[in-house]
């Protein structure tokens, strides 16, 4: 099947799916998630080598930019269109999680 995601991509993306599930279900504090996500991404040679299927890479790259734009509620400036708060990051995490799961399941 031409549109399927490689098995190795499916294996590599599982850590991100797991972290997103923790964030979305509020089993992990957002600051802990942010630090862990950025650390794992920084050390992820698979992602950094641009090996992921382009669809998986685009979803993860977009969410990385969301995490980068995140500011804690006490520092959030609603007039700054280049930052997002906790509510918005959780919303985008949910959307990212759905997209990744659909893609990995072969529905994306």
The tens place of each residue's pLDDT in the chain, 108 residues long, gives 456 788 999 999 999 999 999 999 999 999 999 999 999 999 999 999 999 999 999 999 999 999 999 988 778 788 888 889 999 999 999 999 999 999 999 866
Let me know if residue 17 belongs to a domain. yes
Domain residues for 40?
7-105
Domain count, the chain: 1
SS3 percent helix, strand, coil of the chain, rounded to 5, is: 65, 0, 30
* 11 CA to centre of own chain: 15
Let me know if residue 62 belongs to a domain. yes
Identify the pLDDT of residue 80.
82
Select from 75, 99, 97 the least CA-distant residue to 23.
Answer: 97
Let me know if residue 95 belongs to a domain. yes
């Amino acid at each position: 099947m031409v549109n399927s995601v490689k098995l190795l991509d499916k294996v590599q993306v599982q850590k991100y799916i797991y972290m997103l599930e923790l964030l979305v279900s509020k089993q992990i504090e957002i600051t802990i998630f942010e630090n862990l996500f950025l650390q794992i991404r920084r050390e992820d040679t698979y992602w950094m080598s641009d090996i992921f299927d382009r669809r998986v890479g685009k979803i993860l790259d977009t969410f990385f930019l969301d995490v980068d734009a995140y500011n804690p509620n006490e520092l959030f400036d609603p007039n700054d269109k280049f930052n997002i708060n906790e509510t918005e990051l959780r919303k985008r995490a949910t959307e990212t999680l759905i997209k990744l799961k659909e893609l990995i399941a072969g529905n994306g």
